[in-house]
Amino acid sequence: MLLASRRLRLASPFLIAAVGLVAAWVMSVGFSGYFVYLAIGMVTASIATIGLGVVTGSAGIIALCQLTFAAIGAWVVCWMNVSEAPGGFIVWLLAGGAVAALAGVLIGLPALRLRGVNLAVVTLGFAAAFDVLIVQTQFPGQVDGVSVQRPEGFTNDRSYFFFAMIVLIIAALIVSLLQRSRIGSSWKAVAFSERSTAAVGQSVALAKLSAFAVSAALGGISGGLLAGQVGLPYAASFTPIQSLGLYILAVMSGAYLIDMAIFAGITWVLLPELLRVWGIKQDWGLVVFGFFGIQALAGGGNLGEAVRGLFTRLSKRRSVAAEGAPTDDRGETVSTSALDVFAVAEAAKPLPPNAGPVLEVWDLGVSFGALKALDG
């Protein structure tokens, strides 16, 4: 039974990916033209938030430059398009992700020494500096009006939406597998405690840099997809204030959960569109994101945890009702803790005066890198 359950957990991401692929084809056929165009934006934003969820949610690092990595990916795609580089759009897209990943590693180097607000200032400063550079130099092909060529067979909006969905499914599948691997475990360990991570023999530097690299690569791929969607990207799509808004949305939704990252990407495009339809200034969208982001940062939890907690409580109530598990006076389930296992009758008896030691430890040492906290 345990083996079957483990196989089901391992196969579940691939089953979800197959269902998502079928749903993508249905949506590409069923949506009208304008909604298809909006849906492409939702997909590109979802890829960016999945990457942001890796560095901010899984690894617990404050990074405020996700859309800057997207701008790097878009710039690479535009430059290779103008240069007529071989390989076509798919190769250009991967190249943009690779260059963005390299930039992510370079930006991640200060994260080995800095934490919290100091690191946030560094990443936001990088976003501001690159924004000024893009505004001054513009994207390749912008002056001459050279639009990015979409991949063959995906030239119209419907087929390009299906292509973007394929990229989203692949990105989500890769991140899901990484989160279940040793690398993903190191991300969570670093988020919990860097010293504990080093104490168990895992590399804190590798964990942080790999999180930055994966996050930046997905950001670069999302920017490349956006370049293919609009043809001629503009710097206004990658401003630092938008990176800050995307970070707040990722924290609010719990973007380290892939489904909530996709929800955040949909909200990123849907909310401004709803405000436009209602005749409200779209700047109010950032105000809404900021309000809920403060709530999440203040300890109120994120939306993903709240939804999962609700489902967990409901499933426990159903299991208690079905199995008739014992409950206390408040109706809470009475469970056995790890300490209860050792609550045997012999433990209550006093030790004899001549009892020997139960455990002896000699030459115990604890070190955190070069620092020896206990030696001998």
User: Would you say 151 and 238 are in contact if contact means Cβ atoms under 8 Å apart?
Assistant: no
- The model's pTM: 0.78
Please name every residue paired with 374 in a beta bridge, in sequence order, or none if there are none.
Answer: 366
* 85-111 per-position pLDDT tens digit: 888 899 999 999 999 999 999 988 887
Please name every residue paired with 372 in a beta bridge, in sequence order, or none if there are none.
Answer: 367
* CA-derived radius of gyration, the chain: 25
Confidence class for position 296, pLDDT limits 50, 70, 90: low
**Helix 258-277 × helix 157-179 angle, to 10°:** 140
- Residue 28: predicted pLDDT: 67
The mean pLDDT of the chain is 81
Average pLDDT of 79-88? 90
Which range has the worst mean pLDDT, 69-78, 155-164, 344-353, 363-372? 344-353
CA distance 216 to 70: 8
Which residue in this structure is represented by tokens 């990252």?
261
Q: DSSP label at 366?
A: E
Which range has the worst mean pLDDT, 39-53, 181-195, 302-316? 302-316
Q: DSSP label at 111?
A: G
- Residue 1: predicted pLDDT: 45
Instruction: Give the residue extent of every domain in the chain.
Output: 11-239
* 218-241 per-position pLDDT tens digit: 999 999 999 999 988 988 889 888
